[in-house]
Amino acid sequence: MVLKLYSDPRIFAGGGAIFVHVLAEKRIPFQHIPVSVADRQNTTPEYLAIQPFGQVPAIDDDGFILYESRAICRYLAEKYQDQGTPLLPQSLKERALFEQAAFIELANFHPYCQTVNDEAFGKPRRGLLTDQTILASAIALASGKLGVYETILGKHRHQSTGARPCRNLPSQTSSVSCTRIFL
């Protein structure tokens, strides 16, 4: 049965931005089941039975329900290990560096960029006022973290071309693609 993917109607929105990279890299066919947060479809009893926190995304893989976008990424990368782009390193040390990159994304990048995104774009879209103090503080914190990324990227120039592997990280970078920067 084809993988069912419950996510925002704009599939690339929110947590969807994280795992669509894995779906694409692994060439995994899926059925998109839109769950509109704007229309509160994430709070119906049917959806809460799938994702008890009422958040998107979630998947149903032939009856196996999984939520939390990064856990979904890990599951799909592992399940389709021999298909598409290899994403998970196998050796102990490479795996440790992968986990380091993944936790940096979660702890040092995502919270600040998510706040910037919500204050600058999410709130106005929902008809709310941006809190300029929170926005300025999150931008300052995010800039500091991105400065560290720049330093790390500067040390990891592309082996063959000398170019940096990735510049100007998008607002939501998947843990998996992030790993390529660190390995």
Ligand X SMILES: N[C@@H](CCC(=O)N[C@@H](CS)C(=O)NCC(=O)O)C(=O)O
* Residue 60: C-alpha distances to residues 29, 34, 104, 134, 145 (Å): 13, 13, 28, 37, 35
Nearer to ligand X, 57 or 153 (CB): 57
Q: What is the spatial distance between Cα 10 and Cα 17, in angstroms, rounded to a whole number? A: 10
What minimum distance in Å lies between the beta carbon of 171 and ligand X? 12
Q: Is 148 helix (H, G, I), strand (E, B) or coil?
A: helix
What minimum distance in Å lies between the beta carbon of 76 and ligand X? 13
- Of 150, 12, 134, residue with least CA distance to 69: 12
Q: Taking a C-beta distance cutoff of 8 angstroms, is the pair 35, 7 a contact?
A: yes
Of positions 6, 21, 42, 47, contacts ligand X by CB under 6 A? 42
The answer to whether residue 15 forms part of the interface with ligand X (CB under 6 A) is yes
Binding to ligand X, residues 68-127 (CB under 6 A)? 68-69
Nearer to ligand X, 67 or 182 (CB): 67
Of positions 56, 76, 102, 113, contacts ligand X by CB under 6 A? 56
CB-CB neighbours of 156 under 10 Å: 14
Of positions 37, 66, 135, 166, contacts ligand X by CB under 6 A? 37
Residues that bind ligand X (CB under 6 A): 14-15, 37, 42, 54-57, 68-69
